[in-house]
Amino acid sequence: MATSLRTFRVLARPAARCCNRATVSIPAISLHSRHHSSKHPAGFEPPTSEDLSELRERVQDFTRREIPEELAAHTDKTNAFPNEMWKKMGDAVMEEISRASGSIGLSYAAHSQLCVNQIQLNGSPEQKRKYLPGLISGDLVGALAMSESGAGSDVVSMRTTAKKVDGGYVLNGSKMWITNGPDAHLIVVYAKTEPDKGSRGITAFLVQTDYKGFSCARKLDKMGMRGSNTGELMFDSVFVPDENVMGDVNGGVKLLGGMGYMEEMPASRLLRDAKLYEIGAGTSEIRRMVIGRAFNKEYANA
């Protein structure tokens, strides 16, 4: 079991947020760089099927104990993440957490996969030493910021810029629909460093949310996954030092998007209401069964 637990430490448990942001420390640990062509970090030991089965059972026990139906319903109703959960999720995995509460699972996924995993895959040894211990120990909450209003999955239309100055870059712009945005201490932010190069003129930065000029303008109201706090972020001449550039300058970007899931967008109403056509007269599976029986009856002797 020790092997599987070590394997899933990367899923990280951020702590409940307090008024003052955590101070980032640099413990003396040894981390290895990773070649982008490999799937796993150096020294990765895959868990056995027995390890995974045991881990799954432990996570199921955890969700039954810590994420009862009442907590999942309260999270949805109040549209507020239960901050006491961050510290409790260190050894849990996404599939089983999401069985208990999709909202809690989504916030944990944004932290572990979009922030921690990005740093593990693409960060420098110094960045890993500086940030991963806090993210994994539960002192920091992580997020990733790429989407913008009017430029969701269309990264070429991104308007946030990063201008090179002495010692670093100055970021200006905004990001929208950012999961964990209202709670994060560290955010992987994508900005245009060379706008003329399109998607290849975009660079990733590690932005601490205590940097001057950063703010969360508002928490967004979603039609679902309520309690997975999602926000609009503002960057008003935020200085980011050179050592917080993650990966190569103009290294490009992957595609993400979530605008249509916000209550303020007409698309969310259409998506929500369209589901009635699938379930109003019975689920899709039941309707296929009814139609199949009708066809079989009519053409059985054809």
CATH number at residue 31: 2.40.110.10
b/e string for 70-103 if b means 16 or more Cβ within 10 A?
ebbeebbeebebbeebbebbbbbbbebbbebbbb
Is pLDDT at 100 greater than 70 in this prediction? yes
Same domain, 272 and 209: no
Same domain, 77 and 131: yes
| Closest by Cα among 5, 243, 11 to 130 | 243
- Which sign, positive or negative, has the C-alpha torsion 255, 261, 267, 273? positive
The top-scoring range by mean pLDDT among 17-31, 34-48, 171-185 is 171-185
| DSSP state, residue 269 | H
Same domain, 108 and 165: yes
Same domain, 85 and 208: yes
* CA distance linking residue 56 with residue 62, whole number of Å: 10
Same domain, 153 and 218: yes
| DSSP state, residue 74 | H
Same domain, 244 and 295: no
* Amino acid letter, 298: E
Q: Which domain holds residue 290?
A: 266-299
The top-scoring range by mean pLDDT among 24-33, 82-91, 232-241 is 232-241
* Mean pLDDT lowest among 3-12, 106-115, 213-222, 229-238: 3-12
Same domain, 65 and 193: yes
What is the count of structural domains for the chain?
2
Same domain, 214 and 290: no
Same domain, 243 and 275: no
Q: What is the pLDDT of residue 277?
A: 53
* Mean pLDDT lowest among 65-74, 200-209, 231-240, 271-280: 271-280
Is pLDDT at 128 greater than 70 in this prediction? yes
The top-scoring range by mean pLDDT among 123-127, 132-136, 220-224 is 123-127
Q: What is the pLDDT of residue 222?
A: 76
Same domain, 50 and 144: yes
Choose the final residue of a domain: 261, 276, 291. 261
* 199 or 302, greater pLDDT: 199
* Amino acid letter, 29: I
pTM: 0.61
Same domain, 276 and 229: no
Is pLDDT at 96 greater than 50 in this prediction? yes
Q: Can you tell me the mean pLDDT for 171-186? A: 94
- HSE-CB for 287 with a 13 A CA cutoff: 8
Same domain, 173 and 35: yes
Assess contact for 125 and 134: CB atoms under 8 A. no
| Closest by Cα among 274, 276, 299, 302 to 291 | 299
